[in-house]
Amino acid sequence: MENILKPKTTTFLTEDFLLQSDFAKTLYHNHAKKMPIIDYHCHLSPHDIATNRQFKNFSDIWLAGDHYKWRAMRTLGVNEKYITGDASDKEKFQKWAESVPHTLRNPLYHWTHLELRAYFGIDKLLTAETGPAIYDQVNYLLKEDDYRTRGLLEKMNVEVVCTTDDPTDSLEYHQAAKKEGIALKLLPAFRPDKAYGVENPAAYKEYLQKLGDVSGIMPTSYENLLAALENRVAYFHENGGRLSDHGLEQLYFFEKGKYNIQALFQSVLDGKELSIEEVAYFKFETLTALSKMYHAKGWTQQYHLGALRNTNERMLRVLGPDTGFDSIGDFTQATALSKFLNNLDSSDQLAKTILYNLNPADNEVMATMVGNYNDGSVKGKVQFGSGWWYLDQKDGMEKQINTLSNMGILSCFVGMLTDSRSFLSFPRHEYFRRILCNLIGNDVVNGQLPADEPWLGQLVENICYNNAREYFGFYEV
């Protein structure tokens, strides 16, 4: 099929996009651009990778599940029929194409065109007028084997993908991919949020049954709950798991024994709702126990803090969670976070830790907090993670990098991740790398750093790839 979208007509997305100085261009093109990708946190489907899924059309791969796009379309007045409703895939794509020009100055505008270029070689702006031709062109390409899931990852030079997996997951697709011997390292990450989600006793009891079934240890007591979780940590470790992840409003700390943890557990089994403080205490006890398990295995633990989820009850009833109705929360973080980490550190059982912050008002809190628990045992043992969710855009990334630079050590940073459900999201690494190189390049131009390409180039390569390779130990699996 002839590429009907040539010649190139995008004027803003040049090879030097976001690179405002010659030194920034040198850092990006000579150093950052060539580095492979270790995507140590995402929500890709291991099934889709193991089976090398072929997507049926452009909407199937680009719009399904993408609540960033959904939020934008709703704001623009697009009817839900064309977002998550029963409109055809082509109609949904066309509504997105009509929406894109109106997303200017939102990161979606940049991501959209970076993704079109990186995967499909399309440099034309997506608009209502170009939408039909782009849809047909991409659909034609998606029929080729190179555009199945593994081919898409290979195009982006992805070496490692860490999926996000519940303790009850079988990990059968990770096992299948390893048995097949594919070049990509497909590794699981332990996400036990449901294991301490005692807010809903009925749902929690159902979860405990699943946990008991897969572990062979029925959680009829709190002691057995921890034994079942430890069994699953070991299972994940055997299957290449080397890190955990937790989505929390905030971390918690109490003096141990304030509540009888077994009595709380039994109350939930009896169908009784716990108080807000009792729920927090249950989470504190369980997270502390889990953290010690991670430390014993040499894992890294990740904490995503500060999201206010499911704020629209009407839409939650209609569409369910993770559909675009979450926001930044303003939870108090510093005191309990410091005490939680200190409690683990006091017995030298604090695992390598990455803290992701969603409220930009807490950037300085997080950047200084990580320094409290870097003890010289591991380079960058406790990390201020990259800009997350609403902050993984240019301004948010710059603020995270600048705050880390001012209050920590940027050269130890393990860099970017996608945190995405989309196989087309890997240009976010490119976006991050361009922003990083531009910041350093500007410092050189302003006389704040020496124009030493070998030194600064190595630093950029380390942040983009080498630090993560050394930190996580994935290549030893």
First to last CA, the chain: 43
Q: How far, in whole angstroms, is CA 250 from its chain's centroid? A: 17
- What's the predicted TM-score (pTM) here? 0.96
pLDDT in tens, 216-250: 999 999 999 999 999 999 999 999 999 999 999 99
- Taking the C-alpha atoms of residue 428 and residue 388, their distance in angstroms, rounded to an integer, is 12
pLDDT computed for residue 454 by the predictor:
98
Find the length of the chain: 477
Q: How far, in whole angstroms, is CA 244 from its chain's centroid? A: 12
- Taking the C-alpha atoms of residue 428 and residue 111, their distance in angstroms, rounded to an integer, is 7
Q: Largest Cα–Cα distance of the chain, in whole Å? A: 70
- Taking the C-alpha atoms of residue 107 and residue 125, their distance in angstroms, rounded to an integer, is 15
- Taking the C-alpha atoms of residue 119 and residue 369, their distance in angstroms, rounded to an integer, is 39
54-147 classified as CATH 1.20.1300.10: no
Q: Which residues contact 380 (CB under 8 A, 6 or more apart)?
A: 374, 409, 412, 413, 414, 467, 471
Q: State phi, psi for 370 to the nearest 5 degrees.
A: -65, -35
AA letter at 256: K
Fold of 149-476: TIM Barrel (3.20.20)
Q: State phi, psi for 131 to the nearest 5 degrees.
A: -55, -50
pLDDT computed for residue 477 by the predictor:
87
- Taking the C-alpha atoms of residue 198 and residue 281, their distance in angstroms, rounded to an integer, is 11
pLDDT computed for residue 3 by the predictor:
52
- Taking the C-alpha atoms of residue 299 and residue 237, their distance in angstroms, rounded to an integer, is 9
Q: Which residues contact 83 (CB under 8 A, 6 or more apart)?
A: 70, 73, 74, 92, 95
Q: Averaged in consecutive runs of 10 residues, what is the pLDDT profile of the chain (477 residues)?
A: 51 93 98 98 98 98 95 98 97 98 97 97 96 98 97 98 98 98 97 98 98 98 98 98 98 95 98 98 98 98 97 94 94 97 98 98 98 97 97 97 98 97 97 98 98 98 98 94
Write down the domain spans for the chain: 54-147, 149-476
pLDDT computed for residue 7 by the predictor:
43
pLDDT in tens, 374-420: 999 999 999 999 999 999 999 999 999 999 999 999 999 999 999 99
pLDDT in tens, 302-320: 999 999 999 999 999 999 9
Nearest partner of 165 among 44, 302, 286, judged by Cα: 44
